[in-house]
Amino acid sequence: MIQQVEQPLIEIHDLTVTYHRKPVLWGIDFTLPKGIIAGIMGPNGAGKSTLIKAMMGLVPVGSGYVKLFGEDLKEVRAKVSYVPQKESVDWDFPASALDVVLMGRYGKLKWFQRPRKADRDVAMDCLKKVGMEAFANRQISQLSGGQQQRVFIARSLAQDADLYLMDEPFAGVDIATETAIVELLKEMTSEGKTVVVVHHDLQSAENYFDWLVLMNLRLVASGPIKEVMTKELLQETYGGKLNILTTVTDLLNKQDFPIREK
Amino acid sequence: MFNYSILFNPNVMYVVLGCLLMSVSASTVGTFTFLRKKSLIGDAVAHAILPGICLAFILNGTKNPLYLIPGAFLTGWLSILLVDAITHHSKIKQDAAISIVLSVFFGTGIWLLTVIQHSGMDNQSGLDAFLFGKAAALTSFDVWVFGIVALLLIAAIWAFYKEFQLLSFDKDFAQSIGYKTQLLELLLSGLTVLAIVTGIQAVGVVLMASLLIAPAATARFWTDKLHVMIFIAILISSVSAIIGASVSYIAPSMPTGPWIVMVLSLCAVLTFIFAPHKGIVVKWLKQRRNQQQMLEENILKTFYYLTQTTPDSDKAYFKLTDIQKQRSLRESELNKGIEALISEGYIEKQNDQYYTLTKEGLHQGKRVAHLHRLWELYLTEYLRIAPDHVHDDAETIEHVLTPELQERLEIILGNPEIKPEVK
Ligand SMILES: Nc1ncnc2c1ncn2[C@@H]1O[C@H](COP(=O)(O)OP(=O)(O)OP(=O)(O)O)[C@@H](O)[C@H]1O
Ligand SMILES: [Mg+2]
């Protein structure tokens, strides 16, 4: 099930990515509309991070192209925010939480220019949005894994973009905070912004996302979540990955998703 | 006697100034090398410079630094590119790639040096000084050249401070906001090579890596802020350069470079011992303080139990042996604890043998006993641990429970009665 949209915000056409001649993404081809929260899901090693990196021009693309806002990335960079997987950086780096969030403002600064007072205000505000204002001056290695993740989300918010590409932003974040941040993201989409989130929890997916992309090295499905969250498509995506699948099929057998476990 | 006035001789000033400029630029650039986990690269570059210097000398027949520096720069940079290329295009890891490049380049350098020495070219003597540094032979011209290079380096780091910071912390993100990360990396490695090329004049090939990395590694212990870290690294390297260069003049048979590195190492060792939070001394002091606190609280608690079991509280005077009957404490330890408690006003000495708790001491003793009981109850009632297993645990935990935790425990357990534990 691959639903294409008119006037897409994101258009990915026949995208192929290889690492050392090993293909990781095969002819990925989908479009996403504006003003939605979209989830990208698939098992470990499915190429989700690679897909996001390819969209951000961080890995060389074998064939095909990506268009954001109907243009090449370099024309619209200022409107796009990227949240890497938390593990991709060294958290022993000498910086405070506020320093990291301030990095979200660097795109708006010229060479030589230092962050201004207004940038600090924005950064503080974004820390507040993820409930981390009390930790602004804390050295980042002294934050818990979930708190570090929240700092990354705050940095992304500080970019004040129109399109957010987030690689597992909720990994290690507690339920209360996760729910609060999803609320925040939903608010942002109602202002016309678009959010793409790599996510692992099938249970919460239906509550969080309007649109779902299922993939496993190739594209399995892309469409409104109600139409994509089917037993067959999930089986096709996770096939063989027994643990998750059995849980999911059990879940789907009940045919309704509990909001949240207490 | 040393002749201190020699330090004010203009030639000596040149040497001190030259060493200072080189150390400062090396440590500034080295901070980023260190943070990008490329410390070993410094070593490869330092060794790879030798063939460049020899080649430049063969081609130009002069030891003028204006000719030698480009040669050194070329092979130094080539070595960085080679290490990157090897790690990128093969399965060889960075450390292995570095040792391969290092030995090939250095071997070539030594071979060229031998060729030059046997070629009978005039004025070749002294070229091997690059191996060990030749700070003492710096001329005013050298100092001018290196001074300008050093200023350029520092200006470049200052100008691209936020770009280099982001590059070092999160390269993908830097690229995602449009930074030309490849260009920045090239620039940073170019600056590193330049810093090494100049620094080698002071300390030589072998010790260069420590001039580059040691100040940053030491500074990291003192701060969690990048700009402060750079500042401390500069401070440490300046002090080392000045002391190192001066010492070598006061005791003239001493080489300059090794002295600079000696002082740097001393700073590093002192840091590992005395640094805040991570230093050995601070950890040791903290441990001692904890032990002292535990000792005192245990004595107070035991006193409190004894007081509770004495029917007539007006006669609650005890001998030290009463305490020892309850708790096995060595006499020296007990005396130390009692003395401290007397000076803190928790215990009073009645006469030669007898001691009693003051009002405050009674309060403290009761507090500790209360915490002990709370924790025992928490373990037995909430975690369902057998009552005869909980005492030892409570013995430690009673000393660490904070007032907030106490309050939370009281909320779930109520305000339980304290059971005096008297043998
Ligand atoms: N730099 C790399 N070099 C070589 N292979 C890579 C590299 N990065 C990823 N791969 C491979 O590409 C495949 C897809 O990886 P990717 O990180 O995109 O998966 P993912 O869906 O994000 O997984 P996860 O859920 O674990 O984050 C994996 O098989 C992985 O081994
Ligand atoms: Mg991933």
pLDDT in tens, A144-178: 888 999 999 999 999 999 999 999 999 888 888 89
Candidates B166, B290, B413, B14; CA nearest to A102 is B166
For chain B, helix (H) and strand (E) counts, in that order, are 17, 2
Cross-chain CB nearest to B225 (options A90, A94, A112): A94
- Asked if the Cβ–Cβ distance from B177 to A89 is below 8 Å, we say no
Query: Residue A217 CA: which ligand 1 atom is closest?
Result: 14
pLDDT of amino acid A122: 96
The domain segmentation of chain B, as residue ranges, is 6-275, 283-412
pLDDT of amino acid B252: 67
Asked whether the predicted pLDDT for residue B422 surpasses 90, the reply is: no
pLDDT of amino acid B161: 95
Per-residue exposure over A151-173, b if at least 16 CB sit within 10 Å of its own CB, e if not? bbbbbbbbbbbbbbbbbbbbbeb
pLDDT of amino acid A44: 87
Region B307-311 average pLDDT: 80
Q: Which CATH architecture has domain A1-69+196-262?
A: 3-Layer(aba) Sandwich (3.40)
Chain A residue numbers with beta carbons less than 8 Å from the beta carbon of B35 are 93-94
Query: Residue A47 CA: which ligand 1 atom is closest?
Result: 18
Q: Which residue has the higher pLDDT, B11 or B263?
A: B263
ipTM of the predicted structure? 0.88
Region B217-239 average pLDDT: 94
The predicted-structure confidence for B353-377, as pLDDT tens digits, reads as follows 888 888 888 888 888 888 888 888 8
A49, A202, A214: residue to mutate for ligand 1 pocket, most atoms within 8 A of CB? A49
Q: Which residue has the higher pLDDT, B120 or B260?
A: B260
* Residue A28 in contact with ligand 1 by CB distance below 6 A: no
pLDDT of amino acid A84: 94
Q: How far apart are CA A140 and CA A137, in angstroms?
A: 9
The predicted-structure confidence for B314-351, as pLDDT tens digits, reads as follows 667 888 888 888 888 888 888 888 888 889 889 888 88
- Asked if the Cβ–Cβ distance from A115 to B172 is below 8 Å, we say no
The predicted-structure confidence for B271-288, as pLDDT tens digits, reads as follows 988 888 778 888 888 888
Strands A22-32 and A10-19: antiparallel
* Residue A19 in contact with ligand 1 by CB distance below 6 A: yes
Asked whether the predicted pLDDT for residue B127 surpasses 80, the reply is: no
* Residue A88 in contact with ligand 1 by CB distance below 6 A: no
Give me the percent of chain B exceeding a pLDDT of 70.
95
Query: Residue A168 CA: which ligand 1 atom is closest?
Result: 27
Q: How far apart are CA A161 and CA B380, in angstroms?
A: 54
Cross-chain CB nearest to B177 (options A107, A114, A139): A107
If you ran DSSP here, which 8-state letter would residue B166 be given? H
Q: Which CATH superfamily is domain B6-275 in?
A: ABC transporter involved in vitamin B12 uptake, BtuC (1.10.3470.10)
pLDDT of amino acid A256: 46
pLDDT band at B31; cut points 50, 70, 90: very high
Q: Which residue has the higher pLDDT, B121 or A179?
A: A179
Contact indicator for B41, B33 with CB cutoff of 8 Å: yes
Least confident of B114-123, B182-191, B311-320: B311-320
Tell me the average pLDDT of chain B: 86
- Asked if the Cβ–Cβ distance from A58 to B177 is below 8 Å, we say no
Q: How far apart are CA A209 and CA A212, in angstroms?
A: 7
Region B52-81 average pLDDT: 89
Contact indicator for B23, B237 with CB cutoff of 8 Å: yes
| Ligand found nearest the CA of A60 | 1
Beta carbons within 8 Å of B334's beta carbon, 6+ residues apart: B299, B320, B323, B324
pLDDT band at B313; cut points 50, 70, 90: low
Phi then psi dihedrals of residue B120, to 5 deg: 75, 15
Q: Domain spanning B283-412 has what CATH number?
A: 1.10.10.10
pLDDT values of chain A reduced to their tens digit, one per residue, 262 residues: 888 888 899 999 999 998 876 778 888 999 999 999 999 999 888 899 999 999 999 999 989 999 999 999 989 999 999 999 999 999 999 999 999 999 999 999 988 899 999 999 999 999 999 999 999 999 999 998 889 999 999 999 999 999 999 999 998 888 888 998 899 999 999 999 999 999 998 889 989 999 999 998 889 999 999 999 888 888 888 875 444 434 444 454 444 444 333 3
Asked whether the predicted pLDDT for residue B220 surpasses 90, the reply is: yes
The predicted-structure confidence for B133-148, as pLDDT tens digits, reads as follows 777 777 788 888 888 8
At position A201, the amino acid (one-letter code) is D
Beta carbons within 8 Å of B117's beta carbon, 6+ residues apart: B124, B128
pLDDT band at B266; cut points 50, 70, 90: very high
pLDDT of amino acid B116: 87
The domain segmentation of chain A, as residue ranges, is 1-69+196-262
| Stated pTM of the model | 0.80
